[in-house]
Amino acid sequence: MFGYLRFLLAIIVLFSHTGLSPEWGNLGATSVTIFYMLSGFVLTNLLNKLDKRGDCLIINFYIDRFLRIFPLYIISLCFYYLYIIIKNADLTTLSLLQNLTLIPCNYIKNPTIPVAWSLALEFQVFLIMPIIYRNKVLFYSLGLISMIIFLASNLSYLNKYTWAYFKLTGVLFIFLTGSIIAQSKVNIIKSYLAIFIALISLSGFFFVEFGFIERGGFQSEVLLGIFLGVLLIIQIKDSRRLKFNQELGSMSYSIFLIHFLFIFIFGDYNLNSYFFNLCVFSSSLIFSILAYYLMERKLNNWRINLN
């Protein structure tokens, strides 16, 4: 079921960037928040699996994550750079290095792949997750600090847009909430903790929407995403795997990476809104299908054999 969920979230992000969002707010930001939580859940499940085998935990974990993130990211980046070259836009060596390494993409202005900032957050989390996974004091201490920073930004002591969405220090607890849900299989108390975080987030959402807390950035969208993320992951984490689950899960990543390129390409033409959205969606979908069958399927098999 998670493949279906990731695919749906990627489509919502795509259409939010083409302008198809409700007047209430940006559902793409809500989807990205759920992606954060899903990432924490997946990373912890992988660590649990490797830990039980007693293998080289950190090495296998990093190889798996590298194969999942970088090959398709680099290929997508090449397509973006090809478009930049064709458009005779500026291309600096520093920008190239920053984008290739991925890590600084949520700190630099306008990364080449516009959504790479959120991928950079995931990359930063998977670098530290094997370390804090084993150290429960560090795990919960960092989670608490992150929640305090997130709360401070919601109360306008820090920039809402930056610290409650773009920076790891303010959103780390969202990843860790997904991790807590993954750990709840052996500890029912952790299920209650995740549900408590969801209810607090829902309360915060209503406080913002009813005007008790000043709204700014993607505040409501993120709070709603935390609530929905907990509910969705708890609901489907033990569901049976459906047909095409892996395919759709892999395709969601391709769609997430490439859709902005097609927004740029078709944005150069004077298309009506309906045809523009259709072109961006269909082109992104075709790219994702090709990427899966030409590359990602083989990479997934390598990762399965590794783990």
User: Which pLDDT tens digit goes with each residue over 205-249?
Assistant: 999 999 888 888 889 999 999 999 999 998 887 766 767 778 888
Q: What distance in Å separates the CA atoms of residue 7 and residue 21, rounded to the nearest whole number?
A: 17
Res 51: pLDDT = 75
What's the mean pLDDT when you consider all of the chain?
87
Mean pLDDT of 100-126: 90
Q: Tokens 């907990």 label which residue?
A: 230
Higher pLDDT, 23 or 284: 284
Res 67: pLDDT = 86
Res 185: pLDDT = 66
The verdict on pTM exceeding 0.85 is: yes
Amino acid in the structure at residue 36: Y
Asked whether the predicted pLDDT for residue 142 surpasses 60, the reply is yes
Mean pLDDT of 153-174: 90
Where does the chain have alpha helices with state H?
2-17, 27-53, 57-86, 93-101, 116-134, 136-154, 160-161, 168-183, 188-209, 219-236, 245-267, 273-291, 297-306
Which tens digits make up the pLDDT trace of 26-69?
999 999 999 999 999 999 888 888 777 665 567 888 888 888 88
Structure tokens at 195: 């549900």
**Least confident segment among 48-52, 250-254, 256-260:** 48-52
Asked whether the predicted pLDDT for residue 1 surpasses 90, the reply is no
DSSP three-state, residue 240: coil
Res 307: pLDDT = 60
**Least confident segment among 13-27, 44-58, 69-83:** 44-58
Res 38: pLDDT = 94
With b meaning 16 or more CB within 10 Å and e meaning fewer, what string describes 55-67? eebeebbeebbeb
Q: What percent of the chain has pLDDT over 90?
A: 48
Confidence of residue 21 (pLDDT cuts 50, 70, 90): confident
